[in-house]
A and B are shown apart, each in its own frame.
Chain A
Amino acid sequence: MSTSDGYILLVLTALPFIAALLLMITPSRERTAIIAITGLSSFVMFVLSVYVFQRYDWHSSEQFQGVLAWDWLQNVGFLGEHGIQIKVGIDGIAASMVLLTGIITMAGTWVSWKVRQRTKDFFILLYIVVGGVYGTFVSLDLFFFFLMYETAVMPMYMLIAIWGSTRKEYGAMKLMMMLVAASILIFTGIFAIFTEANIGSFDLTRLYAAHYSREMQIIFFPMIALGCGTLGGMFPFHSWSPDGHASAPTAVSMVHAGVLMKVGAFAIIRLGIQILPEGAQFWGPALITVGITAALYGAVSALKQTDLKLMSGFSSVSHMGYVFMGLGTMNVIGMTGSVLQMFAHGVMTALFFLLIGAMYDQSHNRDIPNFSGLAKRMPMWAIFFVIGALASLGLPGLSGFVAELHIFVGAFRAYPIVGGLAVLTAAITATYLLRMMSQMFFGEFNTRWDMLRDVTWAERAGATVLVLSILAMGLWPSPWVQRISTTLAQTIPGVSL
């Protein structure tokens, strides 16, 4: 990937914000214009994301590629030379995440054209989230990293409280307050890192090279991990996630569970593991414990849920548990699995939320026991759902399997007992998903749901893109695996294979 591709990264971050600005000056009555702006910009984002992923060269000895920097503020106060820069660049992990964001944004945009209440405001806020997400993935400056991270969280309250369903205000406030409270820990961690590094700059690559005492790393790694982990749905600070996702509108659930939670896990790698590797080594076992607990707890909780979206929310907690478990193994294969899982889960959970939304928009009900025989009425819907569910329970040939396999192998290498528990979790996952599908899709059709129609063209298109991504990664995982594993092996000091 050449330096000039750095401009693409910049464009990719700027594009959602530009689209949001364009929307601001579009009159809210002009629905066609709104659809044109969002459709075009999300498509361009998707194409550029694929381009960036494809151009990332994992053979290169430089792990951070497409690096471009402009000084934003320097030689002022505590800031020295190149104090705060607008600095973009990606490694293999970020490349995969950028691709994920592109896919989900496009699908999420398509299905949101259905929104008729304050459509314009909805897209403005949604695109601010997307811009924040891209910005977090491509930033190589700690200040802007965190600025973008917070930008991605900020609009969530309004997105859920205005356009949500059921207990939307409760879910929105809970989500917002928990995530912002978690930021306290990140703030403190960042201030401590900057002070300890004492180079007067927020440049991440220079912060990686700086020296941090072992004690400092051990004190502040858990702060970063917990702070970012909360956004990633880390047990026991996951409780915002099922409530928030259950009440959020479709596209917000998709972007939130699909991408934003991954920002949390990604931030643990960027800020926690890459800056404070000794701290990460020290706390690795704790991370694994938390991860496996979350995986088991989420899966068991999902067994009990009757609300389809809550089930999906707990399933997310469970799957994100795998991610933390993989990160805690501190070996390349386990951590590669983590990042793969971030991608795989992002796509399949977006698919789930898309389909649940497609049904809920019509039925205003999503209690699993209320439904039966839906496969007859909504065949395409059922097919998409089954593919997502099979990926989620780890069927070979689909993306979930690739990711989970890596994590399980990594876990067995680190702690065999954890590997065993992880396999048990996969079995529970299969139980709740298969049980839900047998209840909802098969059997006698309940005539109460006569008004249900199959997925619309927009939803069908969105679901198709997501399913294709699931298949692509399941059948040909090497583009992902190579990019991620080389980066991990080269950027984290002291990581084992």
Chain B
Amino acid sequence: MNLDYSLLVPEFLLALAGVVVLLADTFRGELKSGRQLLPWLTVFGAALYGATGAAAGSMTSEFAGIFAVDAFTAFFRVLFAVTLVVVVVGSHEYVSKNIRHQGEFYTMLLFATVGASFMAGARELLTAYVGIELLSFSLYVAVSLAKSDSRSGEAGLKYVLLGGLASATLLYGLSLVYGAGGSTSYVEIAKNLEHVEGLRMPLVLGLVMVIAGVGFKASAVPFHMWTPDAYEGAPLPVTAILSATSKAAAFALILRLFSGPFLPVIGEWRTTIAILSLSTMVVGNLIALQQTNIKRLLAYSSIAQVGYMLMAVVTMSDVSASALLLHMGGYLVTNLAVFMGVIAFYNHSNTEEISGLHGLAETNPFLAMVLAAGLLSLSGMPLLAGFTTKFILFQAAASGGYLWLVTLAVIMSTISLFYYLKVIRQMYVVLPDGSQLPYATEPSVRQERWSMSPSSTLVVSVLFLGIVVVGLYVAPLAVAADNAARALFKA
């Protein structure tokens, strides 16, 4: 058994950063510029985590048979680190205005990322479960940290109750899988499930419960009910983490489970996941059509994205895993761009209503452009990340023999364009005073403009570039995703 603790250095650093932030918060009164210190410490910790995580990318090793350090884990470590850095830098202004207990806030984000990291690397059921719980509990707290917003507490309560239920279901499912597989180690389960005749029934029951549990984390329909409320009630940066880190971690876990221990019994779960994928994309997109709050809209749109991603689980192979990871990367960049844009907008206007965005193209053209690009990328428009990664994801599922599901996904993504265009319409077609632009050749009136804070400008510009770069030069990300997928299937 390999007990080389240096394999876990990135996670240690992250947890350490969490503790340091807590301590620093306690002594903040005595420190000068204590407010600046917390986010800097968080960013520093996340950057160290990302750097050490990336450095371990070429390894193929395992800690005590429970935690794999390979290209797959490294891929997610980097994703989580980038997400955390981006969210902390981009929401600096927001946090100082709208969050109670900032020390706890940053600590929770750091601990959540530790949990996510363990979900991505786990090679054993209980480690994975502990990872899930760490992520969930941190987020339960973070969701309820908004100052003077009653929705925040409500969302936290809803999230913790439903999350507890999902956790229990998952744990029961895992115990049934343990019963059928005879071990909690992924490798052992995979070996034993090659021939499980007598234990079909408990295994299937266990699988269903596991799917329900991870489906909850990934917010797949019909386990999505908490998503819109939690997204709406949570402070914006937490919503961003929910839609990025939490979702990516859920998919990391799903990929680990369904490409390894559960692969021998693919016949038992393939159809279930296909139905889940179908219902998720249909429900997510159709309900998104009637949203008026931008956070709820993004909640449903992220549900819809989960539906597309589940297609790659249905056709589980190294090819579709590679496509899924690529899309995950592209989705994360795009989604963060939108969220950071919305945060910058909220800092200025204090509104989350879609109709509140009217005239943004006149008052802050740059932000309007970034938001428009982000939304178009989410709907899969070209020159942007969304088109390229979605195209590859869909082609992978089609090559896997699920052309009908892919066709449905393309139809749904067309529908999604409609509600994204509604947002773009508010920004571009409607003027700040609610009227419409005069005829094109009439002389124009210049509106008063406002600008974002420097940190928001920086983050939003970098993410905008990211969307375009992933859209037009996808090779580095695709190669990383492919290596990760290969590592996944080698393990």
Residues on A facing B (Cβ under 8 Å): 28, 72-73, 76-78, 114-118, 121-122, 128, 132, 143, 146-148, 150-151, 154, 157-158, 161-165, 169, 173, 176-177, 180-181, 183-184, 187-188, 190-192, 194-195, 249, 361, 364
Contacts and interface: CB of A to CB of B under 8 A. Distances in A.
Contacts of B441: 114-117, 361
A23 to B, nearest CB: 12
A440 to B, nearest CB: 21
Given A73-B474, A76-B322, A176-B421, A194 B399 contact: yes
A147 B424 contact: no
A308 B383 CA distance: 35
A191 B395 contact: yes
B395 A184 contact: no
Interface in B360-395: 361, 365, 372, 376, 381-383, 387-388, 391-392, 394-395
B271 interface: no
B349 interface: no
Contacts of B399: 78, 191, 194-195
Nearest to B388: A147
A78 B407 contact: no
Given A78-B319, A117-B438, A192 B403 contact: yes
B230 to A, nearest CB: 31
B423 to A, nearest CB: 12
- Classify the secondary structure of A's interface with B: helix
Contacts of A195: 398-399, 403
B414 A177 contact: yes
B427 to A, nearest CB: 10
Interface stretch (B45-53, B59-67, B101-109, B475-483): B475-483
Contacts of A361: 439, 441
B469 interface: no
A192 B478 contact: no
- Classify the secondary structure of B's interface with A: helix
A191 B406 contact: yes
B171 interface: no
Interface in B276-311: none
Interface string B432-444: 0000011111111
Given A118-B444, A176-B417, A184 B376 contact: no
A173 to B, nearest CB: 7
B410 interface: yes
Given A165-B439, A169-B429, A180-B414, A76 B398 contact: no
A76 B418 CA distance: 33
Contact of A151 (B318, B322, B383): B383
Contact of B410 (A77, A121, A187): A187
Interface string B308-345: 00000000001110110010000000000000000000
B443 A116 contact: yes
Given A143-B391, A146-B391, 12 more contacts: A76-B478, A114-B440, A115-B441, A116-B440, A117-B438, A154-B383, A181-B414, A184-B411, A187-B406, A187-B407, A191-B398, A192-B403
Contacts of A161: 425, 428-429
Contact of B482 (A77, A187, A192): A77
A183 B414 contact: yes
Contacts of A118: 361, 437, 444
B86 interface: no
Contacts of B439: 117, 165, 361, 364
B319 A77 contact: yes
Nearest to A181: B414
Contacts of B459: none
A365 to B, nearest CB: 12
B396 interface: yes
Q: Which 4 A-B pairs have the closest CB atoms?
A: A191-B398, A77-B322, A150-B382, A163-B440
A364 to B, nearest CB: 7
Contact of A158 (B322, B383, B428, B438): B428
Nearest to A74: B475
B382 A147 contact: yes
Given A76-B322, A154-B376, A194 B425 contact: no
A107 B410 CA distance: 36
Contacts of B424: 157-158
Max count, chain A CB within 10 A of own CB: residue among B382, B407, B482 = B382
A169 B421 CA distance: 11
Contact of A154 (B318, B382, B391): B382
Contacts of A154: 376, 381-383
B339 to A, nearest CB: 22
A128 B444 CA distance: 23
A192 B396 CA distance: 11
Given A117-B442, A147-B387, A184 B428 contact: no
A115 B403 CA distance: 45
B323 A77 contact: yes
A38 B392 CA distance: 35
A116 B429 CA distance: 15
Contacts of B382: 132, 147-148, 150-151, 154
Nearest to A187: B410
Contacts of A147: 382-383, 387-388, 391
B437 A76 contact: no
A147 B443 CA distance: 36
9 contacts: A72-B473, A77-B319, A77-B396, A116-B444, A118-B361, A157-B424, A187-B394, A195-B399, A361-B439
Contacts of A122: 440
A162 B399 CA distance: 40
Nearest to B366: A24
Nearest to B325: A77
Contacts of B440: 114-117, 122, 163-165, 249
A79 to B, nearest CB: 8
Given A117-B444, A177-B417, A78 B437 contact: no
A305 to B, nearest CB: 22
Contacts of B428: 158, 161-162
Contacts of B388: 147
B487 to A, nearest CB: 14
A352 B475 CA distance: 45
Contacts of B376: 154
Given A78-B395, A163-B440, A73 B421 contact: no
Nearest to B391: A143
A88 B320 CA distance: 29
A182 B438 CA distance: 32
Contacts of A249: 440
B406 A117 contact: no
Nearest to A152: B382
Interface in B429-476: 429, 437-444, 473-475
Contact of B392 (A77, A114, A163): A77
A191 B394 contact: yes
A177 B425 contact: no
Interface string B34-56: 00000000000000000000000
A191 B392 CA distance: 10
A244 to B, nearest CB: 14
Nearest to B427: A158
Nearest to A144: B382
Contacts of B394: 187, 191
Contacts of A162: 428-429, 437
Contacts of A128: 383
A191 B403 contact: yes
A226 B314 CA distance: 29
B446 to A, nearest CB: 8
Contact of A192 (B398, B410, B481): B398
Max count, chain A CB within 10 A of own CB: residue among B318, B403, B441, B473 = B441
Contact of B407 (A117, A169, A188): A188
Contacts of A157: 421, 424
